[in-house]
Amino acid sequence: MRVITGLCGPTRLEYTAPILVVGWVWATSRRRPSGLTLLGVALAIAGIMLVLNVFAGAHINLIGVGWALAAAVCAACYFVMSSSVATDGDGLDAVTLATAGLIVGATAVATLGATGLMPLTFTTNDAVVAGWTTSWLVPVIALALIPTAIAYTLGIMGVARLQPRFASLVGLSEVMFAVLAAWVLLGEAITPTQAIGGVVVLVGLALARQGDRTEKLAELTWAEVPPGGVAYDQSVGRS
């Protein structure tokens, strides 16, 4: 069995997006995350670095680092913008946001390809999928619908419910599922370091979730006490 190796060094920087999301929420809400949340974030990031085997043959390429940091910023923006979607049906719709994002992305890629700034070629020859020859339209439509339109719409709906800080950490599980899929489908071997990293990620997610619940409970408890610090008993009409 072959051993799963890490992605190229700069690409791994994309998975630091949760740090940017936590920092953004902290700065905009002016509320410091709980210690459990910060510990969970740190463990999740450390665990995903182990899963990616970050120290295997790593080398620094400044152009790659720049693109990877840009990818991290874009990923953070995705989680923050998705949180603006209404979960009760009254407000911005997930389909609307996903459609707008895909249109902007398609336009940007088409523009870069048309101007020659980015190599872009395509063919209308028949495609072979799992030994089955079919029209090129079939895989194009399938890719456009299932892993793109439907996946992004459901992802945005999920972020709106989980909130961007915790959702960005859950997004790290993408790497873990990719490793598991490579093991099951391609016979790739999972190293002990990657297995330990996966466990660390799960522990980090659990701590971050508990931290979120603790913060919400504290907010609710604080909201029940009036500014004067004296609770009012409505059942008997006295303080």
First CA to last CA distance, the chain:
72
Task: List Cα–Cα distances, 161 to 15, 52, 61, 62, in angstroms.
Answer: 21, 28, 37, 37
Task: List Cα–Cα distances, 122 to 103, 105, 116, in angstroms.
Answer: 19, 17, 14
Q: Tell me, what's the pLDDT at 28?
A: 92
- The 3-state DSSP class for residue 3 equals strand
Other beta carbons within 10 Å of 160: 20
Q: What is the pLDDT along the chain (239 residues), one digit of tens a residue?
A: 444 444 444 556 788 899 999 999 999 988 889 889 999 999 999 999 888 877 666 677 788 888 889 999 999 999 999 988 877 767 788 989 999 999 999 999 999 999 988 888 888 899 988 788 999 999 999 999 998 999 999 999 999 888 899 999 998 888 888 888 889 988 888 889 889 999 999 999 999 989 888 877 776 676 555 555 554 444 444 44
Q: Tell me, what's the pLDDT at 154?
A: 92
CA atoms within 13 A on the CB side of 158: 13
Place of tokens 């959702």: 167
CA distance 236 to 238: 6
State which H helix or E strand residue 71 sits in: helix 62-82
- The 3-state DSSP class for residue 127 equals strand
Q: Tell me, what's the pLDDT at 220?
A: 67
> Is the Cβ–Cβ distance between 168 and 79 less than 8 Å?
yes
CA distance 176 to 47: 10
pTM for the model: 0.77
- Give the angle subtended at the CA of 200 by the CAs of 72 and 159, to the nearest 5°: 45
Other beta carbons within 10 Å of 80: 19
Other beta carbons within 10 Å of 224: 8
Query: Taking the domains of the chain in order of start, what are their residue ranges?
Result: 1-83+163-239, 86-161
